Amino acid sequence: MDTIILIVVLIAVLAVLILVHEFGHFWIAKRNGIRVDEFGFGFPPRAKKLFNWKGTEFTLNWLPFGGFVKIFGENPDDPELLGGKPKDSFIAKSRWVQAKVLFAGVVFNMILAWLLFSVAYFAGTAAVLNSDSSLYKHMGPNQELMVTEVLPGSPAGKADLAPGDIIKNVSELGNDRPYPNLDDQSFSSFIKDHQNEKLVISYERDGRENSILVTPMVGVVSQDYASIGVGVGLSGEVKLPVHKAVWRGVTSSVKIFADIISGLGAIIKDIFVKSDTSVLSQVSGPVGIAGIVKDAMSQGFTAVLMLVGIISINLAVLNLLPFPALDGGRLMVLLIEKIRNKKLNSKVIMWINAVGFIVLIGLMIIVTISDIIKI
């Protein structure tokens, strides 16, 4: 039953993300007087025609993975274009209007992420903060001190402390007394005040309590103070008022968008500059996403909202890539045509897009196989 629920949730997530993307194309096309012949829920074969709205057929299709829009004039081989360029066709519009239609899917994915993040922050979502953060005052009372980072080769790293561990107590060796009101600042101060002294740190991992012996030393992080090489923060639920939740949704969307582009750039560099094929471990396909969705479901509804928002931004970034068959590739064609002030051969573009689509499917298969191997 759990597997069935996971599959249903995964299909629903992917469907919403793709449908929102396609609705962006649909909406902007309609707003600019372009005829949209069909808006399909799922992929063909068609199961049922649902209704007709302002000249657009809304259909239900058998493959429940997202959807599509059929915009009049996108296909240069459309028989209706043989006699010229009807004014309600995509190809008859200016390059600026065409670019807006192509870019709209990305914009709508970003809007979806912003809305999901905003709702999550307003409803209450898990977060790890420092006590001097501006958001800390909005964190609930049930807080835990969590390890957020461990430096390799540091005293904490050698003692096998790991990110995600919950620190329960810290004390001098032989003086095992509870530390009252342990937070990030008091923990850091305690470590700094016990240079070269053996300390006992009690922590929880996967519901089991353990303890380690560490010795704070100068030079692990800085020559100015002693450290064991960890970063810590307070884990709890953050609930923001509406106006702050909306603004936090905006800033989170922008930051994650920038982080994804940066990470994608690093992956591309590893592939083409360093010839490092291990980057597959950093990429997930449907199988990998299923595992991530499962983890999010175990953490609650707002965790799922945050995850869907992040995937939506990933989809936006992916579609912006200047690769054939993607929106970014088609935008690149428009840019080249604008610079040359001349249309490119439609047949050549169609074949390039077809090859690009095949390459994308091949990459998806490779990533999926990699996901299965990692399980």
Tell whether 129 is covered by a domain: no
For 41, the 3-state DSSP assignment is strand
Tokens encoding 286:
């449907």
Q: In the chain, how many domains are there?
A: 2
Tell whether 362 is covered by a domain: yes
Give the integer Cα–Cα distance in Å for 315 and 91: 26
Q: Quick one: pLDDT at residue 373?
A: 59
114 with 152, same domain: the answer is no
For 62, the 3-state DSSP assignment is strand
pLDDT tens by residue, the chain, 375 residues: 567 787 788 888 888 898 999 999 999 999 999 999 999 988 889 999 999 998 999 999 988 777 899 999 887 777 887 777 889 999 899 999 999 999 999 999 999 999 999 999 999 998 999 999 989 999 999 899 999 999 999 999 999 999 999 999 999 998 878 888 889 999 999 999 999 999 999 999 988 999 999 999 999 998 999 999 999 999 999 999 999 999 999 999 999 999 988 888 877 777 666 655 555 555 655 666 667 777 777 788 899 999 999 999 999 998 998 888 789 988 998 999 888 888 887 778 778 877 877 877 676 666 656 655 555
265 with 291, same domain: the answer is yes
Give the integer Cα–Cα distance in Å for 176 and 190: 14
Q: Quick one: pLDDT at residue 254?
A: 95
Q: Quick one: pLDDT at residue 4?
A: 79
Name residue, tokens 């990699």: 370
Range of the domain at 275: 2-35+72-123+260-374
113 with 144, same domain: the answer is no
Tell whether 358 is covered by a domain: yes
Give the integer Cα–Cα distance in Å for 187 and 4: 44
Tell whether 59 is covered by a domain: no
Tell whether 222 is covered by a domain: yes
Residue type, 190: F
Tell whether 229 is covered by a domain: yes
* CATH code of the domain in which 224 resides: 2.30.42.10
Tell whether 88 is covered by a domain: yes
- The upper half-sphere exposure of residue 319, i.e. CA atoms within 13 Å in the direction of its Cβ, equals 22
Tell whether 159 is covered by a domain: yes
264 with 363, same domain: the answer is yes
Those residues with Cβ within 8 angstroms of residue 263's Cβ, 6 or more apart along the chain or in another chain = 282
Q: Quick one: pLDDT at residue 267?
A: 74
- Give the end of a domain, one of 181, 203, 238: 238
Q: Quick one: pLDDT at residue 110?
A: 97
